[in-house]
Structures are given as C-alpha cells and as structure tokens.
Structure 1
Amino acid sequence: MAAPLSPVFAGRTAELAALRDSWSEAAGGPSFALVSGEAGIGKSRLLAEFTAGLDAGTRVLTGECLELGGLPYAPFAAVVRGAVRELGAAGVAALLPGSSPELARWLPVLGTPPPEDGAGRGRLFEEVLGLLEGLAASGPTVVVLEDLHWSDASTRELVLFVARNLSTTGLLLVATLRAEEAGHLGSLPAGLARAPGARRVDLPRLSAVEVAEQLAGIDGRPADPAEVARVHRRSEGIPLFVESLDRSGEGMSASLREQLLGGLTTLPDRGRAALRAASVIGVQVPHDLLVDVAGLEPATADEELRPLVERALLIPDGHGYRFRHALIRAAVHDGLLPGERVRLHTRCATALSALPGEHSSALAGHWDAAGRAPEALAAAWRAAGVAGESHAHTEQLRWLERVLAGWTAELGVPKVVVLEAAEWAAALAGEPQRGVDLATAALAELDPEREPERVAALLDHRGRLRYRIDGLGLNDLREALTLLPDGSSNISRGNALASLAGAHLSHGDLDAVDAPAREALRIGRAAGDRAICLNALASIGMRLVLLGETVAGEAALREAIAIAEQHGEPDLHTGLLFYLARAHAEAGDFRRCAEASERGLTLARRFGLDRRRAPMLTVFLVEAHIALGGWEAARHALRVALSTEPTALYQGLLHALRGLTEVAAGDLAAATEALDLITTLPGGRPEVLLARRVELACRIATDGGRPADAVLAEAAATDPATVMRPWVFLPAVARVTTEPDRWRGYADAAPARGPLQRAARATALARLDGADTAGWDALTARWRDLDLPGETAECLLSAAAAAAADGDREGAVRRVHEAVELAEGFGDAGITARATALARRLRAGPARPADFGLTPRERDILALIAEGRSNRAIAAELFISVNTVGVHVSRVLAKLQASGRTEAAAIARRAGLLEG
C-alpha cells in the first residue's frame, strides 16, 4: 500500500474504511459509492487519500461536472479521454462494439459516429457501460465522478444507468455530491442508493479533536486547547476553513469570502489578475486559455502563475490547473468589478472561439455574462444542436428555451424552427406538457394551407403528447389526417394513421382501430419505417386481444417486440411491453402481466426512459401484484413510480391503486385520502379513472368506510360503452349498491370478452340477483382456474353464506374454512375480517392466532415503532400522512394496552409479532 497522501488529512477513519470496503466488495461484484457532504467538507480530499492508498497498477479515471456548464456527459467524456491517454485510441476502440461508435461524437479520434437514427442514446449508454466493464476486465479500475450537484440531466441519467447496470468485478464507481445543492437532482440520490452494491458515505463536520489533528498536520506542532476551540468555532468543523483560518482567530472577518481569500492581497499584481481571469474560465482552467485571457506573455507565464500554485489556490491538473476548491473560484469571481467581469468574459469567449473543438455551451455563458446577446444567442443555438446530437435531450430543451427567450431575427433561424426543435426535445426529455405548449406556439406560426405536412406533423406530435398527459388528443390527430390526404408524404400520413389508431384504441373504439392501423402498417412496410410498423402492430395486436382473440393479438405484439429488440429501439420496445402487459391483464394472466411489466421497467431504467414509460408500466405491474396478493411489492412499485412525478393521468391511476393497497392493509383513512386526491387531479378524460375510482370507493364502503353513493351515481349515469374496463369495478359495485335493477342493466350492456371479464360480469350479476350455492360454487371454480385468490375467497364466502341459508352447515363450514385459509394467505384485511367473522358465526373453529386484533397496516406501524421511527418517518415510509400515522399509533397502543412506544415494542417482541 502506498503512503498516505498528506499529514493534513484528519479524521475520516470510518469514511475511508467504508470506501475501502466498497473496493473490497468490487472483487465479488458491482460496487458503487456516493460520497456526500457540504462544500469544503473534504469529499475530494477523502477520495485523494483513498486512491493514493490503492495498490500499484490500479487504474484511476476521474471526470468532473462543471459549474459553468459544458458538453453534456462532461465527466464521462473526461473518463473516456483518460482511457484514451492510457490505452490509446485503438485500445479504447477495441473495447467498443462495431466500427462506428457513438463515443466518437465525444472524441473524434475514436472513429466516425453512425448516422442519427433515433436509437443513438441507447447505444451511447451501452458503449459507456461496455467500456467501463472492458477496462475492469483488463485490470482493477476505480472511476471517480466529481460534483454531481453540477451535473446536467443527461449526465445524471447516464450515472444512474451505469450504476444500475454494472455487472462486472474489479470496478468501483464513486461519485461525489454536495448535499446542500442536491435539491434539483430529484430522485437521483434515492435511485443510486438502490443500485447493486451501493453504499453512501456521508461526511460530517470535524469534531474538535479532529480539528486539533488537522491543525497539527498543517505545521507539525500541536495546537493548544484555546487555539483548537477558536478554530473549531470559526471553521464550524469544515476542513477547508480549518486550513484557511489564522490559528489565533484574531482580526479575521466571519464572512466566507474573507476566510477564503484573506491572503490574496500579498500576491503580485499579475498573480491576482491571473487568478481573476481563471475565475472567469471556471473551476478547470486550461493553461493556454488562461495565458490568453489574462494577457500573460507565454515566455514568463509560468513564473507569473507560480505564486498561485505555491499558495495552493490553483492546483496543476493535466494541461492546466484547477481551483483548490470551487468556493475559492466563486469568491474570486464574486469580487470582480462590473466592467472587469464584462471585459474578462468577453476575452474568454473570444479566445474560446479561436480554439478547435466544440465550446458552444461555455461560449453561451461567457457571451451572456459579457452582455453580448447576439453572440450568446447563436452559441446557445449551437449548444442545443450539440446536446441533441449527444442524445442529451433535457439539455437540448434547456438551450432551446434560452434561444426562444432571447430570439431575434438576427439569429438567422426562423422562430418556428426553434419551436419545432424544442417541442421534439421536450417529448424526448419526458416533459409532455411543455411539448404541448411549444407545439401550440409553433402551430400559431404556420399556415396549414401553405405547409400542410408541417402542420400535420405538429398536430400529430401534440395529440400524442396530450394522450400522455390526460388521455386527450383525438381531435388533433383527426385534424392532422385531414391535412394529409392520399398522395401526401407516405411517412407523414403513416405516422398520423398509426397515432389515430392508438387513440381509438385508448378510447375503446375498437371498430375504428383496424382500418387506420392496417393502412399505417402498409405504408410503414413500403417506406421501411420501423416506428410506423411497430406502432401499427401494437394497435392491431391490442385490438385483437380486446376482442377476445388473445392468441392472434399476442402474436402480433410479440412480432413487434422482436423487431424492436433486434434493431435496438428501446423506447418503442418499452411501449410494446406495456401493451403486452395490458394484454395479459385483460386476459386475466397476471403472472405474465407482472413479467412483461418488469421487463419493460428494466428496459426503461436501462435506457433512461423512466419518466416517459415507468408510470404506465407500473400501473399494470401493481395491478398484477394486487390481483396475486403481492401487497408489499405493489407498495414499493408505487413509491418508486410516484417519485418520478408522472402526469396527472398516471398520478390518478397510481393513487387509485395505492388506495387499494391501503384498504388491504386495513387503513381506510389513508385509502379515503387517496380517493379524494384522485377526485381533485386535473384531467380531460375522467372516464379513464372512473373504473378505479368506483372500485376503490366500493372497497372502502364494503370494509366499513365512507359510503360510495356519489361515485356510484356518477358511474351509473355514464354510458358503459365509454367507460374504460368496466369489469374492473362491477363485482365491487354489486356488493354495495342499493339499486340492483339499475346495475343489472349496466352489467348486461358492458362489454365482456375473455374469461376474466366474463367471470367479473357473472360475479356482479350473481350478487345483484342473489345466486344459490351451486351458482357460487361455479363462480368459485372460475376464479380458481384464473388463479386469483382474492375473488376466489370472496366467492367462497358467498357460497358459504348461501349454504348456511339453505341449512347446510357442514357445507358452509367447509367452504368458510377454505375461504379463511385463502384470505389469510392473500393478505387483504377486509376479506380476512369478513371470512373470520363468518367463521365465528358458523362456529367453524378458531379464527387467526391471537394478534391483539391488529390489522396488517397496524402491524406495519408496530414494526416501524419497534425500529424507533418517528411518526414523520413512518409516514414517509408508508406513503401516508403524519396525522393518519398518529391515529394508527394510538390504536396500536390501545390494542396492546401499552403505555408508550417502548412498551409496545417490547410486547410485540414477546408475542412474536415482529417475526418475519
């Protein structure tokens, strides 16, 4: 092992050990560490100590996210450059598939990138992953990604992709993050925490003892207690400030800038000027650029810069320098005078413009800071193009928004072109509402009579985006087709037809699906356009499934999936898996539904499509878990999906399903909260949510909660032909309605195709008409054949009640015993309670073993109480409100007859309630 890097490194024993543990674990599988802490806390210093202690021959590659922006994926591009420096371009290219790598867009020395075909982003992600795993195969490798708090969205997606998909040994991925600047990162930290082999290393501030250790390391003499106390108080335990503070603590301003820059007044004038120029360039400072911007003479530049290096303000790094800490750079930049700032940013932009390579992102920032709007606008337009070519669509949208905000005719690009580009970027970035707004603005700029195909394309895009938001969009798609009669561009018409077919499918208008879908398929095949073909096949296959022709429909879907998989079309592939999951759900095959949903979610996570595809796939995954009794898996999937900020339509569907899990847990208050939330969500097609709202309201009413009168009246007044999936709620309605005649007609009119839908309608009619024992036994067999334990148990209970009414106590007891066993295994509190109650009335033997009468939700609460969780922490874990948690805690204490949380935990342990 190498010697420690510096005696100034103090404390951090546990944190350094954690990193070393992660490195040891990398020998057996994927390993990832996220080092988190505030600015100046020593994240980079910890990594320097860790990497210095690695065995000789261990490869360390580092990339940084830059505060002032730059090319998307900047830290990964730096890692690839480091690999090229070590292995040569040929060595790196040998680790990449094919002869036309996407990584050549970053480093042209790697070859010629392939033409853009819509699937490049997926290939790029795969290439980065393959390169890292190839490097690990050639020798132990540590990859460090610094300052994720400054990362662009595309970098964050790639970090998450790599962390989740690493499968090799001998590779440790480490990332650093400023905790106080992580708010804009959304679910990234949580997503990284779920990566295989993940470990989080949080750096606290130094204690007084550790500050004394650091002070002793600075000058080799021990600090007396008064010195330590003063420095610890002023530095607040932040290592960077400990180094910067005068030990006496006298005469030093408490302001951060003075702490960081108090010694700059003793620098030579040229040195101070160079440091100010460096602060304009950024945290990373190329030597030649600094010489140019600072106006240094090349022959004497080294000597003029040496004082900055000797005082560790700038650290030599490759072909340039970096600031010892980003806070130093920020403090210097903040101290620039207005005229000085304009002058230096202008010089920096001018110098960058003369350098080879693509610097448009940085140029936009410098020209903007210099007040040169036309140049900043042109650079932002170029930066948007670079981001789009790199598949960094979130950054592309951000740059295009900047262009739109300052657009003038001087740009030389019509505003409508910028709007069209931004609309497309918004769609790809998973921001459908912004895409709708941009498409609307673009349409206002165009004349449909002069440019019908262009207008039709925008209407097509807007219609599809509206479907992702609230299920609307059909009128846009119809209007698009009126502008594209026979003889117009085949591809434009094919796209519009495929979109229209999908819209009719979404509305349940199956008769209107087939003709546009088959015409789109013909056009797509003739034009060789895979996207049109796959979208058309999806509609054709799903229509067949909904008509009850399951085998033929699934065959069409699988044909499309095979094409998407073969040609690397991850977005279309995940969409097709959604249709396959839905097909299995419609057929009642929930195990295969869960499998298809999981495949789609894995693919979406792998290619950074979570925001676009995860909510829709999760709907059917959760539906499958609920049908099969996988309540905890359903809750976990819901928490993950809701954290991605889905559109209102999918929020509604997910919260409705969440409500069903709350009912199953015996938490009717939380279920009612979910129902009320769905009612207030904005949305243009309430019929899409109606089935789930009705089902949830009826389940709440069945288990003793709020009556479902209002939603029942709304549903009964709705034409069953327009309601999406009425068979989902009909059995639940039949259990609580006081108007059986009204609902009997509704059930007769609702379409029912396939064994699941027919069983649901038959069950509803049996409840409305009062079936006899034989009828309920037949329905029990149908649900058992479908392998759905919840409905099987419900029918057994009805059969038992019917047998008891006929005087057949032995038959009633036999059926209720089976129902109790099924209900307990299924884990639904409401069904279990009804089954147990009927067993007691029939004196059919003991109910469940003594558990103090706790519901499943109350047992969840009790387990978290035993872990020492607060009410707020329990609310966050179970996705319910703090007030609801308080009610449950009170009930738990009352049922256990415990005086407090500690006693409740002890009683639970003695009773074995926390086992399993």
Structure 2
Amino acid sequence: MSPLPRPDLPPGPHRDLVTALHDLHHRDGWRSLRALARETGVSHTTVSKAFSSPTLPSWGVLELLVEAMGGDPATFHASWLAASAPVADTDAPATAIAGRRAELDVVRRHLEAGRGLLLVTGEAGMGKTTVVDAGCAAVRGSVLVAVGRCLPLSTEVPLLPVAEALRHVVRVDDGQVVAAALQRCPTYVREALATVLPEWSTDAPPADPDDRWLRQRLFSGVAELCRALSTEQPFALVLEDLHWADELTLDVVEHLVRHAGSSVVGSWRTEDPAVSAEHREWFSRVRRDAAVLPLGPLTEEETVEQVRLIRPGTTTADAARIHARSLGQPLFTEQLAHADAGDPTFLGDLLDGRVARLDGLDWAVVSVLGIADRPLTEGEIARAAGLEADGLSDTLRTLLAQRILDVDGGGVQLRHPLLAEAVRRRMMPAEAAAMHRSVAGVLAASDDAEPAEVARHWEDAGDADEERGWQVRAARAASERYAGLQAAEHWRRALALWPPDVAEVDDPPTRRHEVVAGIAGQCDLAGRPRDAVPVLESELALPDPPHLYDTAERADLLRYLARFNSSQFVSGDLGLQLVEQAIALYRTLPPSPGLAAALTWRGSELEWHGRRIDATLVLAEAAQVAAEAGDRQLERTVRAQWAWQLGTLGHLGSVDEIERVVREFGPDSSLPRNLTVAVRHTDILLMACRPAEDVLRAAGPALEQAARWQITTSHANVLMTNVAQALRRAGRIADALQGLRVETQGEEPADLPLLHLERAILEVLLGHVDAAGRRLAGFEPGAHEVIDTFILEARLHHAVWTGCPVEGVELAKRVLVSRHDEVAPGTAGELLALTARAAVDATIVDPTLDRQDVGRSLDELWVGLHHDPFEGQAVLADRSYRPQWRAEKRRLFGRDTVEAWAEAATTWRDLDRPHDEAYCRWRAAQVALRDGHGTVAARLLRQAATRAREHVPLAQAIAATAASA
C-alpha cells in the first residue's frame, strides 16, 4: 500500500513521534491497516488513528504497532513520553532535570490521575525535590497542584506544610477557585480550616482547644476541600520532606489517603539517623498502602546530562570524571561541577566536617579505609592499622551508625569516595606514605590481589623496586584481558622505573625487551600504534643496544617501528626500509616467528605501494617460515593474509582458500589473531560480493569473543564495520544500525571512527541527515589519513542525499588524488560511482559548470588510482560498479538510456543489492519519462519502490518522481 496520510501537527515531540512511526511503516514495507490490525489484535480504525489522527495514541496501541513492525519499543516509548508531556506554562520555566525519565513519568501520572499516596524516597541529596518539582512543572496548566514544605524547625509548628499548600490554592485566580470550592463544601469547613488559616476566621467564638472533636472537624474539613477542588479540575496535594513533618501533618496525610482517596505526593529521606522512631514507624505503616518511588544514583550517562545542564559545553570525559567521584549522587555531582567551574561550594566543608571530629580508633579505621579506597575485611583493617581484630567491632558499629561506613558484601568501606578524599586531605604526607605501605602489604598478601591496585599503593609509598615488580604483573594481567591502553601504561611505568644499563631485573627475571615490546604491542592492540614510536626510537638509539637487547630482540623492536612508520601513517617508504632492516637481522638466526611476522608486514607495505604481485610472493614465504618455526597459529594468520592478498588481485579461489585456512587450523587461543583472521575473511567475502549471511557467519565467533571480553580493538571495530557494511549492501539498514547502536550512542567519534562513519551512512539512508551531519562534523580528511577514503564515502552519501553534491565532488578530488594509493580493493568502484553521481548532480544544481570539464575530471580520478577498479581482473565488488559508472557518465551529457540503467540494475539484482538496484531503476524511470514512455516508467518505479525498502531518501525520491509523472 502507499504511505498513509499524516496529521498536520506543529513542530515538536508529537510530530517527531508521528514521523518516526511513518518511517517505521515505510521500512516495514507499508503493510495494510488490516494486516497490522490482525497482528496487533486491535481494529483497523484504531491503527489508522495512530498513524493519521492529530490525537496522541495510547502507549498500549503504539507499543503493539511498533513491535509488529519490528521497531524498538524503548526508543518509541521515550518519544511518546516526550509527546505526552503537557506544554509548560510559558510564564514559569520547567524544572531542568537529568535522567529520571521513568520516575518523572510516575510522578506526573500520579499528579494527573492518581489516587492515594506516592512517596518519593531516597538519601539526602538524591534529587527527590528536583523530581517532584519537575513533575509539578510537567502538569502545570492541566492540574491544580498545592505544594507545602516541611521544615526542620527548632519548635514544632502543627500543620505548617498543610497551611502553606492551602494558601497556595487561595492565591490561584485571586481566590476564585477556592471560593467556588468552599461553596460546594459543608458550612463547617471554612470554620474548621480557620485553625490553620487564621485569615479565614469568622465572628464565631474561637474553637475550644480542649474540644475533642476539633481534630476530627479539621481532618474532615481538609478532606472536603480537597474533594471540592477536584470537582472542576484534577487536583493534587504535594508535601515535601515529610520526614520533618509534625505528627498532626502525618495524621492528616494518612486520613486523606485512607479515607478521602485524595491524590497526594510526598517526599521522604531514607537512611537519616535524625529521623525519630515515631516517624519511622509512621513510614513503615503507610508504605503498606502507598506507592513508593525510590530514587537511586544517576547513571554515568545521566550524570553527563546533569553536568551539562549546570555547565553547558562540558566534555563527556570531564563529566565522566565527576561521575567517578560522585557515584551519581546528584547533590555531590552539582557541587563538583560548580567546583570545577571555580564557583563557591559547600561540599568540602560538609565532608571534612564529618571526619574532622574522629580520633583514636575511629581515625585509625577511617584512615586505613581512606587510603585503601575500597572494601576491606575486619582482619585486613586490623593488620593495616596494626590493631587487634577482636576490638574493632564496636568501633565499626559506631561508624556505621554515624553513616561514615557502609557494609559491602563481606567487607567494610567508607560510605562514599568523597569521604575517602576528605580523609586523605587530613593526613600528613609521612602518615599517608606509611599507610600506603601497610595497605600495599595487606593487599599483596591476599589470594586475589589486583596487581595494578598494589602497584598504585607502592607508588604512593615511594618504593620504586616494589612498585616496578607489581607494574610488570599489572601489565601482564591487563594484556591477558586485552586491555591494551591499560597494559601499555603499566609497561610505560615499569620502563620509567627501570635501572639504567640493565637488561634484566627482579626474580623471577623480567627483560627490558618484554617491557618495550609490551608498550609497542599493547598500543597496537588498542589502535594507537603511533603512541609507541618515541619509545621505540629512543630505545634503538641507545649508545650500546647489544648490551640491552640481543639480535632477535633488536629485530623485534625494528619490526614494531616499521609497522608504526608504515605508509598508513607517514608518506614515503620509511616503513619498508625499517622492515627490511629487521628481516636482515632475523635472517642471521634460524627461522623464527619474528621473521615470519616481519615478512608479513613487508607484504602489507608492498601492497600499499601498489606492488601487489610482490606482496603475494612475500606472504607465501612468510607462511612457509611460520610453518618451519612450528608456530601454527601464526601460520594461520599469515595464510589468511595471503588469501586476502589473492582476493585483492581478483583471484576467484581466495574465498575457498580463506575458508580452507579457517577449517584446517580452527580457532586460535589469541583473540587478536582471531580478529585478524576474521577481518581478512570478511574482507574477502565483501570483495567477492558474497551474501550478508556469509559475512555474519565468518565474523560471529570472533565478535562473540570480543564481546565476552568487552574489548574494542581496531580489528574488532573493522570487523563490526564489515558486518554493518554487508547488511547495508543487502538492504538491511535497521539490522546494520542495531549492531552499531551501543558503540556509537553519542555523536562524538572518540576512538571508534570507522563505526561512526558507517553509522553516519546508515543515518543518511534512514533519512536522519541532520544526525549524520552532526556525526560527520568531527571528521576532516587529513586529520585521519588512514581513514580518509572512509570519510569520503560517508560524506558522499550525505552530499548526494542532502542536495549538496558540489561539496562531495570537491572532497573526492582532494582525497582520491592525495590518497589514491590507499583506496582499498572493494571500495574504489563505489567511490568512483558516488563521485560520478555527485558530479552529474552538481551540474544540475549549478548549470554554469562545463560538463566537458566535469567529465575529464572524472576520468582523471579514475585513471589516477593505483589499480583500475573496472578492469576484468578487478575484484567483483569494484567491477560490478562499471555499468553504473558508464550510465552516470552518459547522464552527465543527457545521453543515458533505459537500457544502460537496466544493465546496471540487473547487475545489482544478481548480487542481491536491493538499494543499488532501486537507484538504477529509478534513474531508468526518469529516462523513460524524459523519452515519453510513461508505461515503462510506471513499471520501473513500482519495481524501484519495492526494492528501496528501508532507504528513506531514495524511497521519497521515487515517490516524488511517481507523483510528478
């Protein structure tokens, strides 16, 4: 069926929700209303209203529709909540709030239509007032909310918050609202409420304070007034900080919710030792019938949002550091954010004051925990403090009661990291160093000692020899977890502590080569190889390197330096020269894994220099050397690289060869090597235009292993990009985006540029061009030389679908001329075809462009590449673009034909590339219309629309052409 009509809505969350729903319907293939009604179990009229009525549908109906069409209910629920929030009164700004979306929704709904008591609970500073205020702001204009606040006064004032709330009502509409309500109340109500509102006093004699019915009349009067106020419009009573309320107020609240059915929202501070036993008993009693909404700490993402509300422009990293200190406690986050901005705060005084009064055993315990900054058992605390364990229990109980400590599983810790900071601020330097030594000794003796933690304490204790040994242990442990950056930093610290002119230290011995190679290898694993170059250069420049490194070790360092100075990163042939030096050293020794690795890298360098045949021969030798050295896993990796090299030459047997390698050798024990082989395997499948399911099967095991270890190395990112690209080419845009959603949640590329570039393309295809534009704003060719061609691909997609083709053409000239030797096989054909399309579109946007010059420029880009992507021996992924390239060139001069575009469409149909096929059929339809063949055009447009599913801008272009036919 065709698209459903959309309601005429003003800009805002409701219209955004409707647009998203219609986009989802398009991606689902525009199923009929009756088909959706059958699947969801509602009437087709209800379905139609959800799509076309200006009234917001209920969440139940919307959720069923979203699930039926394969959408993400969580995303739509957030949009629905935004759309369903009432428009705030412009005279009073809404309360800014970070996170708490679900909690705010609960408060808002209770204020709108709830009955009984909703208690918003949480520790001091957890944001209870913020949530309640934001809920009240959200219903302003649709609900009459009377707000009263309890105060910790030295003298109890009965019903103070109730009086404040009633006075709030009195001020509404100059008293007209409450006057109308009183007319609907029994006559005694005004007199009864004069007890708390003296201004309502009448000429009647004052009430007798000993009258035992006075309290009953007061309670009934409050309930009657609340009922009367609810008659004309929704009404809710909000009483904040009920833990400070007087007993009479608590009784009024209990009466209202148990007997009057009023809507009451209250806030209550938990874990406060100052709250009386009577108040705690009241809380325990009423919570049996009340709805309780507990507030916990904010997540890191919500803390980032809170910090940016306080200090707009704060980076994610700075906000994350604040979260690490505040643990998501909103009050602490607010104070830390102000402190970072140089504003005055009270947080330091508050925390320092809590520990300043401690001495004796109390101080001994908190000083140990402040230095440890983690849970410790009673025995560990005693050993670190030099105390008897038996005498600690009373001290710990006292500190627990004072809310200084907290129990965490089997251990005890300070209640918050900021308390630990306050403890450390009060310690003298020598006192702190001695305590670090004690804690390091205690932690090192445990069976599950964490080396990095122990090393940190030895560092703060000033013991370089002890620290160095634990830094080496920490580096090895981080390497086993594939935590590249962490491991590299530990190796760097170990090298900084290394004694001069010594090749080997400690017992068991550690060689300097392991440390330096560790820095290089872990930087490489983390995708930041250039960070290791200064270290390698300085080590190889030492005056007497044979004293520190034997021949094999020096060759290893040269091999790393060659990789990190490859033509990926620097121009010229420095990388090739360095790897030749490494190979020369290795050849003085028996065949080794190092020689095989160096030969493999030489093959990569030759590939980047356009010497692809030579690269294949070198890789064959590398595989033989790995076999002679007896390293089967390295042989597996080298043979996978060799198969990939065959694939770049268009060798038809490359797929069979890589699958033979995978089958023969099986999985590796090393995740990095598994990822390397999987990248080569999926590269070959993409170059051969194999189905997306084949790519998914090839990538699956390595990606599952990477997910299990929670690592995002450069190879893991490339593998995820390959999978997303395979799904995109198969027309499965939603599936491709789902695979990248977690890693690319923000729009800042961070250390995941390939994933963000691929997501930007997907966002363009989904019609989210503004989001794609913001994501691409962080990329400029030249700053990321290794990925310049990937930047070009993403920007070309954005340019041609946003009507800015000239920008795309200029960028293509810059990148393809300067980085022509790095256009990988399998991507060159698409880049040329996209550039050709942008160039033709540019002549339409700017008719003054000389089409002959444009055509010559395109040919120059083509012949300037270091391999011809359209020749018969090119990889299938490149040469399959040849018909489309020719058709675009003919379109440049208005000489394209239906047959030319049909040939290109047939190529894509045979390779199951629906969006590419749809594009070519759309162009063929435009030619048919130009030549007066309307029937042919209509058939082509129907075919194009069917194949354009999930490609929003293409589908819209096809529909526009059909509408104008």
TM-score by length of 1: 0.57
Q: Which residue of 2 aligns with 1:787?
A: 912
Aligned residues of 2:482 and 2:709 also touching (Cα < 8 A): no
| Map 1:688-699 → 2, pairs under 5 A | 688-689=789-790, 692=793, 695-696=796-797, 699=800
Moved more, 452-461 or 638-647: 638-647
Q: Which residue of 2 aligns with 1:763?
A: 884
| Map 1:545-560 → 2, pairs under 5 A | 545-550=647-652, 552-560=653-661
Q: Which residue of 1 aligns with 2:321?
A: none
- Whether 1:210 aligns to 2:310 is no
| Map 1:239-388 → 2, pairs under 5 A | 255-257=349-351, 260-261=354-355, 264=358, 269=360, 272-273=363-364, 276-277=367-368, 279-280=370-371, 283-287=374-378, 289-296=380-387, 302-303=390-391, 306-312=394-400, 330-348=421-439, 361=452, 363-385=454-476, 388=479
Which residue, 429, 432, 443 being the options, matches 2:529?
Answer: 432
| Map 1:154-553 → 2, pairs under 5 A | 209-211=267-269, 219=277, 255-257=349-351, 260-261=354-355, 264=358, 269=360, 272-273=363-364, 276-277=367-368, 279-280=370-371, 283-287=374-378, 289-296=380-387, 302-303=390-391, 306-312=394-400, 330-348=421-439, 361=452, 363-385=454-476, 388=479, 394-409=485-500, 418-429=515-526, 431-445=528-542, 451-464=550-563, 470=569, 473-485=575-587, 487-505=589-607, 509-550=611-652, 552-553=653-654
Alpha-carbon distance, 1:598 to partner: 5.0
Q: Which residue of 1 aligns with 2:808?
A: 708
The amino acid across from 2:868 in the alignment is A
Moved more, 559-568 or 385-394: 385-394
Report the CA distance shift for 1:670/1:556 in structure 2 as closer, same or farther (over 3 A). same
The amino acid across from 1:730 in the alignment is L
Question: What does the per-residue CA deviation read over 1:177-205, in whole Å, with 9 as the maximum and x for residues that have no partner?
Answer: xxxxxxxxxxxxxxxxxxxxxxxxxxxxx
- What is the aligned-residue RMSD (CA, Å)? 4.8
Give the SS at the match of 2:889. helix
Alpha-carbon distance, 1:615 to partner: 1.9
Whole-angstrom CA distance in 2 between matches of 1:728 and 1:519: 33
Moved more, 369-378 or 322-331: 322-331
Alpha-carbon distance, 1:370 to partner: 3.4
Report the CA distance shift for 1:379/1:777 in structure 2 as closer, same or farther (over 3 A). closer
Aligned residues of 1:694 and 1:715 also touching (Cα < 8 A): no
The amino acid across from 2:765 in the alignment is A
Report the CA distance shift for 1:443/1:684 in structure 2 as closer, same or farther (over 3 A). farther
Whole-angstrom CA distance in 2 between matches of 1:309 and 1:511: 76
Question: What does the per-residue CA deviation read over 1:138-197, in whole Å, with 9 as the maximum and x for residues that have no partner?
Answer: xxxxxxxxxxxxxxxxxxxxxxxxxxxxxxxxxxxxxxxxxxxxxxxxxxxxxxxxxxxx
Q: Which residue of 2 aligns with 1:200?
A: none
Alpha-carbon distance, 1:331 to partner: 4.2
Report the CA distance shift for 1:363/1:762 in structure 2 as closer, same or farther (over 3 A). closer
Alpha-carbon distance, 1:361 to partner: 4.7
Report the CA distance shift for 1:215/1:541 in structure 2 as closer, same or farther (over 3 A). same
Aligned residues of 2:440 and 2:457 also touching (Cα < 8 A): yes
Report the CA distance shift for 1:717/1:790 in structure 2 as closer, same or farther (over 3 A). same
In structure 1, list runs of 5 or more residues that go unmatched.
1-11, 19-35, 43-206, 226-235, 242-251, 844-916
Report the CA distance shift for 1:557/1:815 in structure 2 as closer, same or farther (over 3 A). same
Aligned residues of 2:832 and 2:885 also touching (Cα < 8 A): yes
Report the CA distance shift for 1:503/1:372 in structure 2 as closer, same or farther (over 3 A). same
**Taking every aligned residue pair, what percent have the same amino acid on both sides?**
22
Report the CA distance shift for 1:424/1:778 in structure 2 as closer, same or farther (over 3 A). closer
Aligned residues of 1:477 and 1:500 also touching (Cα < 8 A): yes
Whole-angstrom CA distance in 2 between matches of 1:495 and 1:389: 21
Whole-angstrom CA distance in 2 between matches of 1:482 and 1:213: 71
Q: Which residue of 2 aligns with 1:750?
A: 868
Aligned residues of 2:451 and 2:474 also touching (Cα < 8 A): yes
Report the CA distance shift for 1:487/1:342 in structure 2 as closer, same or farther (over 3 A). closer
Q: Which residue of 2 aligns with 1:601?
A: 703
Q: Which residue of 2 aligns with 1:832?
A: 955
Aligned residues of 1:581 and 1:597 also touching (Cα < 8 A): yes
The amino acid across from 2:390 in the alignment is D
Alpha-carbon distance, 1:778 to partner: 2.9
Aligned residues of 2:781 and 2:788 also touching (Cα < 8 A): no
Aligned residues of 2:781 and 2:791 also touching (Cα < 8 A): no
Alpha-carbon distance, 1:534 to partner: 1.8
Aligned residues of 1:345 and 1:369 also touching (Cα < 8 A): yes
Question: What does the per-residue CA deviation read over 1:212-263, in whole Å, with 9 as the maximum and x for residues that have no partner?
Answer: 89558775666999xxxxxxxxxx999999xxxxxxxxxx999334653476
Aligned residues of 2:348 and 2:422 also touching (Cα < 8 A): no
The amino acid across from 1:723 in the alignment is V
Question: What does the per-residue CA deviation read over 1:541-595, in whole Å, with 9 as the maximum and x for residues that have no partner?
Answer: 1122223333x21122123333564443432222222222222221223423355
Whole-angstrom CA distance in 2 between matches of 1:466 and 1:38: 55
Aligned residues of 2:766 and 2:950 also touching (Cα < 8 A): no
| Map 1:27-66 → 2, pairs under 5 A | none
Whole-angstrom CA distance in 1 between matches of 2:860 and 2:383: 83
- Whether 1:579 aligns to 2:579 is no
How many residue pairs get matched? 616
Report the CA distance shift for 1:765/1:37 in structure 2 as closer, same or farther (over 3 A). farther
Whole-angstrom CA distance in 2 between matches of 1:278 and 1:378: 24
The amino acid across from 2:517 in the alignment is E
Whole-angstrom CA distance in 1 between matches of 2:473 and 2:904: 66
| Map 1:5-84 → 2, pairs under 5 A | none
Give the SS at the match of 2:880. helix
Q: Which residue of 1 aligns with 2:717?
A: 615
Whole-angstrom CA distance in 1 between matches of 2:296 and 2:794: 54
Report the CA distance shift for 1:476/1:253 in structure 2 as closer, same or farther (over 3 A). closer
The amino acid across from 1:442 in the alignment is E
Which residue, 588, 612, 630 being the options, matches 2:689?
Answer: 588
Give the SS at the match of 2:881. helix
Question: What does the per-residue CA deviation read over 1:650-669, in whole Å, with 9 as the maximum and x for residues that have no partner?
Answer: 62x44544443344344556
Moved more, 743-752 or 396-405: 743-752
Alpha-carbon distance, 1:727 to partner: 0.4
Aligned residues of 2:361 and 2:395 also touching (Cα < 8 A): no
Moved more, 811-820 or 676-685: 676-685
Whole-angstrom CA distance in 2 between matches of 1:679 and 1:827: 26
Aligned residues of 1:360 and 1:379 also touching (Cα < 8 A): yes
Aligned residues of 1:432 and 1:469 also touching (Cα < 8 A): no
Aligned residues of 1:783 and 1:791 also touching (Cα < 8 A): yes
Report the CA distance shift for 1:289/1:380 in structure 2 as closer, same or farther (over 3 A). same
Alpha-carbon distance, 1:537 to partner: 1.3
Whole-angstrom CA distance in 1 between matches of 2:794 and 2:270: 63
Give the SS at the match of 1:605. helix
Give the SS at the match of 1:445. coil
The amino acid across from 1:338 in the alignment is P
Whole-angstrom CA distance in 1 between matches of 2:814 and 2:280: 79
TM-score by length of 2: 0.54
Whole-angstrom CA distance in 1 between matches of 2:413 and 2:390: 15
Alpha-carbon distance, 1:777 to partner: 2.8
Question: What does the per-residue CA deviation read over 1:677-722, in whole Å, with 9 as the maximum and x for residues that have no partner?
Answer: 4335523457644762674376257x45544342344367569676
Give the SS at the match of 1:210. strand
